[in-house]
Amino acid sequence: MTDLVACLSSGEKSRAHVAKLIEGQDWKKIFLVTDEHGMRNFKPAKEADFIVVDFQKPVFQLIENIRNGLHGKIYDFEVALNLVSGNGKEHMAILSALLKLGIGVRLVAVTKEGIKEL
């Protein structure tokens, strides 16, 4: 088992994809990077740690907020990362925060055949 880090934006299809991702595998820990709206309106089927940020902030501030939210919570060398939800700025901030923490990533997505590493 590995930890999952996923971007969670406000789109209904995005939330459905993240829900399937959470339910589709046994994750050690689940971290959802989202805003206040996402935290209030998304009820994951499994226990998840919400990293709540303001996506309107500049990218460098987002990176720092995400890094601080994940610091000391991930103990493996890599995580499964899903960036289907969100936009480029959010994706860059999450990826940068993980790399600054020294954590490698394996990109994962939900497919018709289940969860696959890309």
Q: Would you call 60 helix, strand, or coil by DSSP?
A: helix
Query: Does a structural domain hold residue 95?
Result: yes
Per-residue pLDDT at 9: 87
Under a CB-based contact definition with an 8 Å cutoff, are residues 79 and 5 in contact? yes
* 14 within 8 A of 84, measured Cβ to Cβ: yes
Q: Whose CA is closest to 34, among 24, 22, 75?
A: 22
For residues 44 and 19, what is the distance between their CA atoms, to the nearest angstrom?
6
Residue 3 lies in a domain: no
**C-beta atoms surrounding 14 within 10 Å:** 18
Domain span at residue 28 reads: 10-117
Q: How confident is the model at residue 66 (pLDDT cuts 50, 70, 90)?
A: very high
Q: Residue 45, class by beta-carbon neighbours within 10 Å (0-12 exposed, 13-18 middle, 19+ buried)?
A: exposed
Give the span between the Cα atoms of 10 and 115, in whole angstroms.
22
Instruction: Give domain status of residue 33, yes or no.
Output: yes
pTM of the full predicted structure? 0.95
Residue 1 lies in a domain: no
Number of domains in the chain: 1
Tokens of residue 35, six digits:
């805003």
**How far is residue 8's CA from residue 53's CA, in Å, rounded to a whole number?**
11
**pLDDT tens digits along 12-29:** 788 899 999 999 999 999
The amino acid at 102: G
Whether residue 2 is contained in a domain is answered as no
pLDDT tens digits, 72-105: 999 999 999 999 999 999 999 999 999 999 999 9
Q: What is the CATH number of the domain that holds 49?
A: 3.40.50
